[in-house]
Amino acid sequence: MPRKKVTDPITDQETTFARLFMSGTMTDRQAAEAAGLNPDAPPPISEPAPTNPPPTVPSMLELPQYAHCPSGLLNRDQVAPVS
């Protein structure tokens, strides 16, 4: 099931293009021309994919490969002096 409501259903031209191209007998340009699409048209602008923020340093230090680090390095309440 799609997460969002579909606002732009796939057209018959797009379905025809996909079948012609995926059959392997035509290039994408040839399939677009045969389906009646403009092969020189720019692709439609879509929403960017959601990205996750990178992990924070304290969460990285809790990984098993950093288990050998002294516990003082993992203390979040301690603030290191800035010089």
For the stretch 30-69, pLDDT in tens is: 999 999 988 888 777 776 767 888 777 767 767 777 666 6
Model confidence at 22, pLDDT cuts 50, 70, 90, reads very high
> Is the per-residue pLDDT at 19 higher than 80?
yes
φ/ψ (deg, to 5) at 18:
-60, -45
* Distances in whole angstroms, Cα of residue 19 to Cα of each of 1, 5, 30, 39, 54: 23, 25, 12, 16, 39
pLDDT of residue 54: 78
φ/ψ (deg, to 5) at 33:
-65, -40
pLDDT of residue 52: 80
Tell me the pTM. Answer: 0.45
